[in-house]
Amino acid sequence: MGARVSRLVDRIREEKGPFFVARVCLRVNCRIDDKAPDTPEAERAIVDACRELGYDLAMVEFGASSGH
Amino acid sequence: MSLVTGVGVSAERDLNAAIAAAAAEARSQCPDAVLVLGFVTHNHGAAGLGEAAGILASAFPGAQTAGGQVNGITYDHERYDAVFANRFAVAVVAFGGAGVRGAIALQASAGTSPRSSGSALARDAIERLGTTPVGGIFLGIGLSQVPPVDQQIVDGIRDVAPRLRITGSGLCGGMQLDGSYDPGVAFLGREVVERGVLLAVLGGEVRLGFSAANGMRPVGPGAFVTKVDGAEIVELNGRPAKDVTLDLLAPDSPDLRALFEKNPQVMAIERGITFAAPDLEGDFYWCHSPAMFTPRGGVFDAFGPRVGMGLAVTRIDPESCMSAVAEAAGMLQQDAGTEEFELTLAFSCSLRGFTLGADEDGELRKHVKSRRHIGIVANGEVGCYRHGRPMFTGWVFALLGAATESS
């Protein structure tokens, strides 16, 4: 289970609600459930999907800390 | 004036504190309540509901108390929407007054034997009421069970009480990653039941009206249902239903079509487009939204597809969605035979929140004179269109109005 992806999805759910998470899930081609592995690709896909939906998560969640 | 109501809403994050505050406010307005409903947004979680139910029961020792988890609450120009904004709230609605009677019944196994459970629910509630009910509020399973059973539960209620009109919603415990709903938890008194269903009935010196509208507008050619298997539309116009659905609802681009193919429910909400069957009487379309595609190329439809049914392609946008509030308000006044209400209670599909944002509650006040108004963000609604019988449907704004004067 990927802690980073899981935390990221929890953060989105907390701020935007579960329907927004469903919209993100629809737009990524990787798992984002609680068994999703932590990979840079998964994190990038989630951040990109959020941005496409008008929610700029990258600066908030990652900034300089993750290198994304 | 015979009917007295009380409404309390609290957005405190602590569930016990929230339900205590909401109950205290409702009790201050309606100290001699006979029937009290509590609504808790599902993000509060189910674990604390037993204790919260106990707090509500203690606050109203002379009343029957019940309630459960919901998608959200609208009150006083605020939308506490757990689905679209993760907002927390608790609402308590109390009914009382001289000559007003109320009773509530709960069934625990409605998901497995819906029609007989509906009948048992009605028998129990009416027996407790001790008189002919004037109307009621139903809190069911909604879209949290696939295929849904709320229409069968309503049919079971109708078997016992053919003239009883009700409105309500499915309870809801949350939303999965794919946009599907988790089952909600119900409570009656201090008893807590997952997937429990409730029927609250009012009788005696009370006059109720019912209405429903959704704002769907036809926009182009649709399709006829030519093959059905239970809740699955297998074919439309003699072709695989999935192909026809994608052709009609996502014709604009391959990208859009690909998103619809993955999850038609989420995309139908995003794009404000769906299938619906026209009502024979008027400008109303019964929702037949494609919830998911089946492996064999069918479409799952939660709202009772039938062979021969003509499905229109309809759109719902902020303007039409909001106009539904005015339509429902006009219908309610006609149905109740009054323009003055002590309480209006709306069950508004959670999907409408995506289209409307937070404005629905305020809009109703422009069209109905009501001393108190509260809205529940719903998960599959039961509504009555133009004096008709209650039907399980979706995407609607369903209203119950309790008149200021009973006669």
Q: What's the pLDDT tens digit per position in B161-202?
A: 999 999 999 999 999 998 999 999 999 999 999 999 999 999
- pLDDT score of B1: 56
- pLDDT score of B405: 85
- Please give the residue that has the higher pLDDT: either B80 or A61: B80
**Spans in chain B with pLDDT lower than 50:** none
Q: Are B173 and B200 in contact (CB under 8 A)?
A: no
- Contact state of B266 with A32 under an 8 Å Cβ cutoff: no
* Closest alpha carbon to B105 in B21, B163, B41, B35: B35
- Select from A16, A26, A32 the Cβ nearest to the Cβ of B86: A16
- Contact state of A26 with B174 under an 8 Å Cβ cutoff: no
Query: CA-CA distance, B379 to B108, in Å (whole number)?
Result: 18
The chain B residues in contact with chain A (CB within 8 A) are 81-86, 174-179, 259, 262-263, 266-267, 269-270, 354
User: Model ipTM?
Assistant: 0.87
* Closest alpha carbon to B143 in B291, B315, B266: B291
Residues in chain B within 8 Å Cβ distance of A25: 177-178
H helical segments located in B218-317:
241-249, 254-262, 264-271
Task: Please report, as a single letter, which amino acid is at residue A3.
Answer: A
**Largest pairwise CA distance in chain B:** 63
- Contact state of B84 with A14 under an 8 Å Cβ cutoff: no
Confidence grade of residue A66 (pLDDT, cut at 50, 70, 90):
very low
- pLDDT score of A64: 35
Query: CA-CA distance, A16 to A20, in Å (whole number)?
Result: 6
The chain A residues in contact with chain B (CB within 8 A) are 13-23, 25-27, 32-33
- Select from B85, B176, B270 the Cβ nearest to the Cβ of A23: B270
Confidence grade of residue A1 (pLDDT, cut at 50, 70, 90):
low
- Contact state of B266 with A13 under an 8 Å Cβ cutoff: no
Residues in chain A within 8 Å Cβ distance of B263: 22, 26
Nearest CA in chain B to A20: B84
pLDDT of A68 strictly over 50: no
Q: Are B365 and B238 in contact (CB under 8 A)?
A: no
H helical segments located in B187-282:
241-249, 254-262, 264-271
Residues in chain A within 8 Å Cβ distance of B174: 18
- pLDDT score of B219: 94
Residues 6+ apart with CB under 8 A from B110: B117, B118, B121, B140, B141, B149, B153, B195, B196, B197
Exposed/middle/buried for B284, CB within 10 Å: 0-12, 13-18, 19+?
buried
pLDDT of A59 strictly over 80: no
Please state, for a pLDDT cut of 70, what percent of chain B lies above it. Answer: 100
Query: CA-CA distance, B180 to B327, in Å (whole number)?
Result: 29
Interface test mutation site (partner B, options A6, A15, A19, max chain B beta carbons within 10 A): A19
Interface test mutation site (partner A, options B86, B172, B263, max chain A beta carbons within 10 A): B86
- pLDDT score of A26: 92
SS3 B194: strand
Confidence grade of residue A40 (pLDDT, cut at 50, 70, 90):
confident
Residue B39, phi-psi category: left (phi > 0), alpha (psi -120 to 50), beta (remainder): beta
Nearest CA in chain A to B264: A26
- pLDDT score of B218: 95
- Contact state of B83 with A32 under an 8 Å Cβ cutoff: no
pLDDT of A60 strictly over 60: no
- Contact state of B86 with A13 under an 8 Å Cβ cutoff: yes
Q: How many CB pairs under 8 A join A and B?
A: 47
Confidence grade of residue A67 (pLDDT, cut at 50, 70, 90):
very low
Nearest CA in chain A to B178: A22
Residues in chain B within 8 Å Cβ distance of A52: none
Residues in chain A within 8 Å Cβ distance of B79: none
